[in-house]
Amino acid sequence: MWNPNTPVSEDCLYLNVWAPMFKTPTPQPADSVPVLVWIYGGSFMSGTSTLDIYQGHFLCKSQKVVVVSMNYR
């Protein structure tokens, strides 16, 4: 929920990337994994990709996918 007393910054355009650990230092073609790009909703009125419930490391580890999320304004 929006709190008008919360500091706001224009420094908000971030790309978050989570990738699974590979067994070899250099991933091989056989190690290819799908990429999930997630853009949160909010109709330009609310929302953020930085909430704890939207962190991609759980999905990345359990499903072996690269997870990408971003903030926008």
pLDDT digit string, tens, across residues 17-63: 998 887 777 767 777 889 999 888 877 677 777 777 778 888 888 88
Radius of gyration for the chain, computed over Cα atoms and rounded to the nearest angstrom: 15
Please tell me whether the overall predicted TM-score, pTM, comes out greater than 0.85 for this model. no
Residues facing 2 on adjacent strands: none
The SS3 assignment for 20 reads coil
What pLDDT is attached to residue 32? 83
Q: Is residue 67 over pLDDT 90?
A: yes
